[in-house]
């Protein structure tokens, strides 16, 4: 790994973004486009790139402020399993993370207001609620993540929240198809966080952070991981059978062997160091499942 002192300013900024998270940020807007083009109504196409920019900015801002406040509160420290941390490694300063994180949120809000000027106050209110949940995911005084609500927030925002708002931005309504098609995305995103929290269970508990993973027994936490990892695949099958999704979306099931490998390896882990692979493994699985899922919906649409 390149030493922080050898990095140029642009490289430092890029590292602070958690660049691996940018691709997952594209998935909810893509699904929203697929649902919108299936509906027999006029689509506000200029809103698609604007909403994409807002969704990506919101996700990056959430990640940056999460890193900042976890560092500020002593949750992230050199004793943790995760060593790829821009603040712990001196890649950027805490002030840079604090300022840039708020700038990303400001950009997301401005882009959302541009769409809200057309879609009206109800859309703006829903967008503000989503942004507030993301902002207070980890904060100075209010941190939803520290009270075992992180998994719920991620599921709702990454799934129904961002996809529902995206469809609303494009067509002015949120049909049932948008909600149903968002559930596998929310579950796959929540699996990443839950895997991360399983790895950090002891250190989070020592730092006074409550997560579902450290409130449950190790066996129960693993069983929840199984549900979060396998639910997207089961949901695809059910939605195809009941006519919600086109059969082309079955291509997402090709990620099932990877899902089983991740679960098999996690089931054999004897301690948290053996779970060091889990957040990255769940993130790779997210991309492997959601990318063909979203592209198939864009190309084939939904049926209700």
Q: Name the burial class of residue 79, with classes exposed (0-12), middle (13-18) and buried (19+) by CB atoms within 10 angstroms of its CB.
A: exposed
Q: Tens of pLDDT along the chain (304 residues)?
A: 555 556 787 888 888 877 777 788 899 999 999 999 999 899 999 999 999 999 999 999 999 998 898 888 777 655 554 555 788 777 888 898 899 999 999 999 999 999 999 999 999 999 999 999 999 998 877 889 888 999 999 999 999 999 999 999 999 999 999 999 999 999 999 999 999 999 989 888 888 889 999 999 999 999 999 999 999 999 999 999 999 999 999 999 999 999 999 999 999 888 888 899 999 999 999 999 999 999 999 998 887 6
How do the domains of the chain map onto residue ranges? 43-149, 175-298
Give the pLDDT confidence of 248-287 residue by residue, as tens digits.
Answer: 999 999 999 999 999 999 998 888 888 999 999 999 999 9
**Residues 6 or more apart in contact with residue 8 via CB below 8 angstroms:** none
Q: What's the pTM?
A: 0.91
**CATH annotation of 175-298:** 1.20.120
State the Cα angle at 195 between 189 and 198, rounded to 5°.
Answer: 145
Question: How confident is the model over 194-211, as pLDDT tens digits?
Answer: 999 999 898 888 888 899
């Amino acid at each position: 790994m390149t030493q922080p002192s050898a990095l140029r300013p642009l490289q430092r900024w890029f590292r602070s973004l958690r660049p691996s998270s940018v691709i997952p940020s594209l998935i909810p807007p893509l699904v929203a486009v697929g649902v919108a083009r299936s509906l027999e109504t006029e689509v506000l196409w200029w809103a698609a790139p604007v909403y994409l920019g807002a969704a990506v900015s919101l996700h990056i801002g959430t990640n940056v402020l999460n890193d900042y406040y976890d560092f500020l509160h002593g949750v992230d420290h050199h004793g943790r399993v995760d060593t790829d941390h821009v603040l712990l490694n001196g890649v950027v300063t805490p002030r840079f993370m604090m300022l840039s994180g708020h700038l990303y949120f400001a950009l997301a809000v401005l882009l959302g207001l541009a769409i809200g000027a057309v879609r009206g106050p109800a859309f703006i209110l829903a967008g503000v609620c989503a942004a507030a949940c993301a902002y207070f995911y980890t904060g100075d005084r209010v941190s939803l993540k520290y009270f075992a609500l992180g998994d719920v927030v991620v599921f709702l925002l990454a799934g129904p929240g961002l996809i529902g708002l995206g469809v609303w931005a494009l067509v002015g309504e949120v049909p049932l198809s948008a909600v149903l098609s968002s559930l596998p995305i929310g579950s796959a995103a929540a699996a990443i966080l839950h895997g991360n929290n399983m790895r950090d269970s002891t250190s989070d508990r020592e730092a006074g952070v409550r997560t579902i993973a450290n409130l449950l027994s190790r066996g129960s936490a693993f069983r929840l991981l199984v549900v979060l990892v396998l639910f997207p695949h089961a949901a695809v099958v059910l939605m195809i059978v009941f006519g919600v999704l086109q059969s082309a979306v079955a291509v997402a099931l090709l990620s099932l062997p990877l899902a089983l490998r991740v679960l098999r390896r996690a089931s054999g882990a004897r301690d948290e160091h053996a779970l060091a692979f889990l957040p990255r493994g769940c993130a790779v699985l997210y991309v492997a499942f959601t990318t063909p899922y979203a592209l198939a919906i864009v190309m084939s649409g939904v049926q209700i």
